[in-house]
Chain A
Amino acid sequence: MTPAVYGVLFVFLAPVFGGLLAGVDRRVSARMQGRIGPPLLQPFYDLGKLLQKQARQVNPVVEPLLLGHVFFMAVSGVLLLSGTDLIFIAFVFALAALFLVLAAGSVNSPYSFAGAERELVVLLASEPFFILMMAAICKVTGASTYAGVLASPQLVAVQLPGVLLAFLLVATIKLRKSPFDISTSHHPHQELVSGLTTDMSGRMLAYVELAHWYESALLCAFMVLLFNWSVPLGLLAFAIAYALEVLVDNSTSRAKWQLVLRSTWAATLVFSGGNVLALFLLSR
């Protein structure tokens, strides 16, 4: 199959993957809390119900911006799999996330705005890592595309242990898991109500959910980049990483934004930065 076909497949299969992942997540989280939990397909039922509901908006630009959020999340995956330069993907990924911030910010209401600002803070926290990770992967493998990295004889994770470690930390932000779920939370008992989704309902909320599923699939694809010997190996690594995330999610409270920013930057600087520095020094 050509890379373009993978790209198209991503558009259709990533939501299925993300939704199932969310279903498993909710089930496992419930069991960790001693509850029975919802059916496995509950996220899909929820999405269906959200789409059926009356769509009420505070202003008319929210919907286009959220569509942009979904679209660019999907585009990031398509570009990644269809062989676009990895470092460029990091920028597109940030653009996709930015659309969510703008949608929430455009509402101009106290809670959505504070959520949007916090999302900007976590973008600021996570973005350096993704640029650095992509650059490091390119440096290690000498390739610049997804297929190229997968074809490389080097096992990236072995060369980039620090980046892998920082990835686990930063993925907590992107997967919206405690302790880093500061801009939104799956149940709204936080100081910002529902953070940046506070003023979104019905169809709007469905877009956010859908984009998050794409995002999860994208993170999985990133994990495959780190374990590039085979796709099943990458999937296994992602499953283990996700299980860890769920466990930590159920074992910590939500951090404050200052700690999120500081710890993520420190991890990026020390673990991935140190890793990249070593890589450059040794490859001389």
Chain B
Amino acid sequence: MPNPLKLPMIPRALRNLVSKPATRRYPFEIRPRFAGARGTIEFDVETCNYCMLCARRCPAAAITVSREERTWAIEQLTCIACGVCVDVCSKHSLSMSVNSRAVHLRSEVGPQGQRPGHEEWHKPAPAATDIPAVAGVPAPAASQGA
């Protein structure tokens, strides 16, 4: 049985008392994210060609793409930030920011039950000649849920 009066934590506690605390005053003082930290997915609608590869490879099924309606949408709260979509995008429309995704409140659920964190882009249809032929890509409906 060790000596009951010899508490090894006491000097440590006393030293802490006079030294600088290790914590931050969080909402007022925020440590910047490291370079290369994996945060939210950012999307450039201009370069996207709606190939749907990102949606098909996403393990969390967070990305929905509609070729007919020319929309690209992501559920930021479903996204697991693995970065696969960024890797597979041949047009480099997708990138990953270092910022972590925002906190969402229950009150942000929209009147139609839209989920918070739902982000959607829509590109107006250009003239028919602008659409490059993307042969071999299956119809949008069939590609869902890959």
Touching in the complex, A and B, CB below 8 A? yes
Q: Does A32 contact B (CB under 8 A)?
A: yes
Known A247-B13, A250-B13, A251-B13: A31·B21 in contact at CB below 8 Å: yes
| Contact with A252, one of B9, B17, B21, B22 (Cβ below 8 angstroms) | B9
Whole-angstrom CA separation of A33 from B17 in the bound complex: 8
Q: A35-B23, A36-B24 are in contact. List 20 more A-B contacts (CB 8 A).
A: A28-B17, A30-B21, A31-B17, A31-B21, A32-B13, A32-B14, A32-B16, A32-B17, A33-B13, A33-B16, A34-B16, A34-B23, A36-B25, A247-B10, A247-B13, A250-B9, A251-B8, A251-B12, A251-B13, A252-B9
13 A-B contacts (beta carbon < 8 Å): A30-B21, A32-B16, A34-B22, A35-B22, A36-B23, A36-B25, A37-B21, A247-B13, A247-B14, A250-B13, A251-B8, A251-B13, A252-B7
A14-67 contacts to B, CB under 8 A, are: 28, 30-37
Cβ–Cβ contact A31 & B10, under 8 A: no
Say if the beta carbon of A248 comes within 8 Å of chain B.
yes
Query: Considering only CB atoms, which chain B residue lies closest to A29 in the complex?
Result: B13
From residue A34, how far is it (CB to closest CB) to chain B in Å?
A: 5
Name the A residues within 8 Å of B9 (CB-CB).
Answer: 250-252
Residues of B within 8 A of A31 (CB): 16-17, 21
Distance of A183 Cα from B123 Cα, bound (Å): 63
Contacts between chains A and B (CB distance < 8 A), count: 39
How many Å lie between the Cα of A252 and that of B24 in the bound state? 26
CA distance A30 to B16 in the complex (A): 9
With A34-B21, A35-B23, A36-B21 known as contacts, the answer to whether A248 contacts B16 (CB < 8 A) is: no
Nearest CB in chain B: distance from A262 CB, A? 12
Q: Given the complex of chains A and B, what is the CA–CA distance between A28 and B18 in angstroms?
A: 10
A81 CB to nearest B CB, Å: 34
Question: Within the complex, what minimum Cβ distance (angstroms) separates A14 from chain B?
Answer: 27
Q: A residues near B, CB below 8 A?
A: 28, 30-37, 247-248, 250-252
- The prevalent SS among residues of A at the interface is loop
Q: Which residue of A lies closest to B26 (CB)?
A: A36
Complex CA distance for A97 and B89, rounded to whole angstroms: 68
Q: Which residues of chain B come closer than 8 Å to A251, judged between CB atoms?
A: 7-10, 12-13
| Chain B residues within an 8 Å CB radius of A248 | 7, 10
Residue of B nearest to A31 (CB): B17
Nearest CB in chain A: distance from B55 CB, A:
43
Q: How far is the CB of A260 from chain B (nearest CB, A)?
A: 13
Report the bound CA distance from A33 to B9 in whole Å.
10
Q: Top 6 A-B pairs ranked by shortest CB distance?
A: A251-B9, A32-B13, A251-B7, A34-B16, A34-B22, A36-B21
CA distance A207 to B17 in the complex (A): 31
Residue numbers in A under 8 Å from B7 (CB-CB): 248, 251-252
For the complex, give the distance between the alpha carbons of A30 and B21 in Å. 9
Q: Which residues of A contact B17 (CB under 8 A)?
A: 28, 31-32
Nearest chain A CB to B40 CB, angstrom units: 29
A-facing residues in B16-61 (Cβ within 8 Å): 16-17, 19, 21-25
Is the pair A35, B13 in contact by a Cβ cutoff of 8 Å?
Answer: no
A274 CB to nearest B CB, Å: 19
Residue from B7, B12, B16, B17 having most chain A Cβ neighbours under 10 A: B17
A227 to B44, CA, bound (A): 75
